[in-house]
């Protein structure tokens, strides 16, 4: 286990000598060195300069599990964890569901095998963005979750548009955009599907600080809240997102998607624009209208409205670069 006091000390991005760190932690310099080695082994970027000491490459605000636990309604959540490094927070939830039921949420500062939609990799550098997944049980099996991905997007949209000076929009079925660049994504996975019940793993990645080097490994234009002038803290955002998700998911479980359709359409970043819908074996071009009460997307093709289900489809602007 990595020493949290060590990490919290280094989080200021300033140099700390081995001696000071040893004193602070009450351990020898050799033990400090071992701890620093562990951080490096976990892929947490460190600088060490002779005569000055050690520092994290960047100052970071680490997620604080105690703050989140005390600020949220923990009656609703059986477990809330913040891992420093994990493979994928969706996997954390999957493992939890193997021996638990109910609701849990796992955050991570870094993912080594972050997953995106359609088998893509989700770039997850240490403490720069938000990566988290929750388990939420629903009644009525798969039928009870129609439109779920859209309401998750809406819950996130409500928070981000409050914190982001630039206009945030939604892209069907569940991307969050700013000026057509990706600000966040959602990956839903079903678990334990039965006729009258199912658990959904809701994985969320929100870009806070997308650097040039990250962009090179991402297949589409991406942006972060910092790049858009938002200064909100990571814990503040994580809490606001959880509160919004709690309220939207509770409501959705009661009412289904229909009452959310108008708000989703108002947030639709592609409304009235020419789009291409890429289906598994064909492509449709038309004008994006919005969603109906089931969350199906309406595209007007040669003057005729056609409706599409979210599945293995991908929506693009007709003239995207
Ligand atoms: C997308 O492709 O748009 C969906 C991206 C979802 C990424 C998040 S990050 C937290 C959670 N864990 C994962 O492995 N994926 C999701």
Which pLDDT tens digit goes with each residue over 157-201? Answer: 999 999 999 999 999 998 999 999 999 999 999 887 777 888 999
The predicted-structure confidence for 27-38, as pLDDT tens digits, reads as follows 999 999 999 999
Ligand 1 atom having least distance to the Cα of 90? 12
Candidates 72, 42, 211, 248; CA nearest to 129 is 211
Average pLDDT in the chain? 92
320 has pLDDT over 70: no
Ligand 1 atom 15 nearest Cα = 115
- Choose the most confident range, by mean pLDDT, from 136-145, 243-252, 274-283: 243-252
**What is the model's pLDDT at position 180?**
92
Q: Are 299 and 321 in contact (CB under 8 A)?
A: no
Q: Output the residue whose Cα is nearest ligand 1's atom 16.
A: 203
Catalytic residue among 69, 117, 226, 271: 117
Q: From the CA of 45, how far away is ligand 1's center (Å)?
A: 22
Ligand 1 centroid, distance to 81 Cα (angstroms): 17
Residue nearest to atom 2 of ligand 1 (CA): 116
DSSP state of 258: G
The H or E element containing residue 254 is helix 234-255
Range from 76-85, 107-116, 198-207, 276-285 carrying the lowest mean pLDDT:
276-285
pTM: 0.94
Residue 171 appears among annotated catalytic residues: no
Q: How far is CA 226 from CA 16, 60, 145, in A?
A: 27, 13, 33
Per-residue confidence at 70, pLDDT binned at 50, 70, 90? Answer: very high
| Mean pLDDT value of segment 281-308 | 94
Catalytic (active site) residue 52: no
Average pLDDT over residues 101-130: 94
The residue to mutate among 112, 126, 134, 204, having the most atoms of ligand 1 within 8 angstroms of its beta carbon, is 204
Give the number of the atom of ligand 1 that is nearest the alpha carbon of residue 111: 14
DSSP assignment of 107-127: EEEEESS-B-GGG-B----TT
Give the mean model confidence (pLDDT) for residues 114-127.
Answer: 92
Lowest-confidence pick of 42-56, 87-101, 159-173 = 42-56
């Amino acid at each position: 286990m990595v020493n949290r006091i060590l990490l919290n000390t280094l989080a200021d991005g300033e140099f700390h000598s081995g001696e000071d760190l040893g004193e602070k932690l009450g351990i020898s310099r050799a033990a400090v060195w071992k701890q620093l080695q562990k951080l490096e082994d976990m892929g947490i970027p460190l600088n060490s300069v002779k005569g000055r000491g050690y520092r994290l490459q960047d100052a970071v605000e680490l997620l604080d599990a105690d703050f989140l636990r005390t600020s949220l309604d923990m009656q609703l959540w059986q477990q809330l964890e913040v891992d420093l490094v994990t493979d994928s927070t969706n996997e954390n939830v999957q493992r939890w569901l193997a021996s638990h039921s109910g609701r849990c949420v796992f955050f991570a500062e870094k993912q080594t095998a972050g997953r995106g939609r359609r088998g893509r990799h989700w770039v997850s550098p240490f403490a720069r963005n938000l990566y988290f997944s929750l388990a939420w049980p629903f009644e009525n099996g798969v039928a009870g979750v129609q439109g779920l991905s859209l309401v998750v997007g809406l819950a996130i949209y409500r928070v981000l548009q409050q914190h982001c000076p630039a206009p945030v929009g939604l892209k069907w079925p569940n991307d969050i955009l700013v000026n057509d660049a990706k600000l966040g994504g959602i990956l839903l996975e079903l678990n334990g599907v039965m006729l009258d019940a199912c658990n959904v793993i809701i994985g969320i990645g929100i870009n806070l600080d997308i650097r040039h080097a990250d962009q090179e490994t991402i297949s589409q234009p991406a942006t972060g809240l910092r790049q858009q002038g938002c200064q909100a803290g990571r814990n503040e955002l994580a809490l606001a997102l959880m509160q919004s998700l709690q309220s939207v998911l509770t409501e959705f479980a009661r009412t289904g998607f229909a009452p959310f359709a108008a708000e989703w359409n108002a947030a639709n970043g592609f409304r009235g624009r020419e789009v291409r819908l890429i289906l598994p074996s064909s492509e449709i071009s038309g004008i994006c209208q919005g969603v109906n009460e089931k969350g199906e997307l309406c595209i007007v093709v040669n003057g005729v409205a056609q409706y599409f289900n979210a599945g293995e489809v991908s929506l693009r602007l007709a003239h995207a670069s």
